[in-house]
């Protein structure tokens, strides 16, 4: 059985997908679960994820991503939208979820609420947006690794017009904005990058052992 690092070595940013091959619903569910289980600062998950398969929507997204074919040829498009700002209602909802799942009283979480209010809501709104977008990249990493585990091809992408994506997704004027995307499907036999050796820094250059 292939180990984790072998599967990471197998994956690459797929530039040309096979439009005739689609992900099974079972695999999509697995990938969504990997995103749901992703680490995030304080566990707040300050983002939502749009999973797009609709052909017409994908064509519009392609246009807003300067014609990159991954948007239409890949089976699924995962779009991570970060919150622009957090408020007390969001914090309260999070604490209520903790209370329900861990069977503790909300009032017993007052110390956590004070910390979150100070550390998160105390940030200027532009800093909250940047912080939330950083969290989406952690979830993106989970998606890429889970996809490699399934031998599903992916391509993480930043080359798109976020404002146009927001319009297409119907989130313009809301508290969400597109942060990063990933296309998922199966590589085309014509994608020459699949035969290229992976290029990474040597371990002695990358790691400092103290």
Q: What band does 2 get if pLDDT is binned at 50, 70 and 90?
A: low
For 101, 129, 175, the CA distances from 139, given in Å and listed in that order, are 22, 16, 19
pLDDT in the model for residue 148 = 98
Rounded CA separation 9/5 (Å): 6
pLDDT in the model for residue 138 = 98
For 128, 155, 187, the CA distances from 65, given in Å and listed in that order, are 26, 13, 19
Looking at domain 42-84+129-187, its CATH superfamily turns out to be NADH Oxidase (3.40.109.10)
User: In the sheet where 76-83 sits, what is the strand order?
Assistant: 47-52, 76-83, 176-185, 153-157
Report whether pLDDT(51) > 60.
yes
Chain segment 85-138, per-residue pLDDT in tens: 999 999 999 999 999 999 999 999 999 999 999 999 999 999 999 999 999 999
Would you say 157 and 70 are in contact if contact means Cβ atoms under 8 Å apart?
Answer: yes
């Amino acid at each position: 059985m292939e180990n984790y690092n072998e599967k990471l070595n197998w994956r690459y940013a797929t530039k040309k997908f096979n439009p005739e091959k689609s992900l099974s619903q079972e695999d999509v569910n697995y990938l969504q679960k990997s995103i749901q289980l992703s680490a995030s600062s304080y566990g707040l998950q300050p983002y939502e994820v749009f999973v797009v398969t609709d052909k017409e929507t994908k064509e519009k997204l392609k246009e807003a991503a300067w014609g990159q074919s991954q948007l239409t040829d890949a089976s699924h498009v995962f779009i991570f939208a970060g919150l622009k700002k957090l408020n007390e209602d969001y914090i309260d909802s999070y604490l209520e979820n903790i209370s329900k799942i861990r069977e503790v009283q909300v009032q017993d979480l007052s110390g956590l609420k004070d910390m979150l209010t100070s550390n998160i809501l105390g940030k200027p709104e532009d800093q909250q947006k940047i912080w939330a977008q950083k969290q989406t990249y952690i979830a993106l990493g989970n998606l890429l690794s889970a996809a490699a585990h399934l031998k599903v091809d992916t391509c993480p992408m930043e080359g798109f017009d976020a404002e146009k994506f927001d319009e297409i997704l119907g989130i313009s004027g809301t508290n969400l904005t597109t942060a990063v995307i990933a296309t998922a499907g199966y590589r085309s036999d014509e994608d020459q990058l699949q035969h290229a050796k992976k290029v990474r820094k040597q371990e002695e250059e990358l790691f400092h052992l103290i």
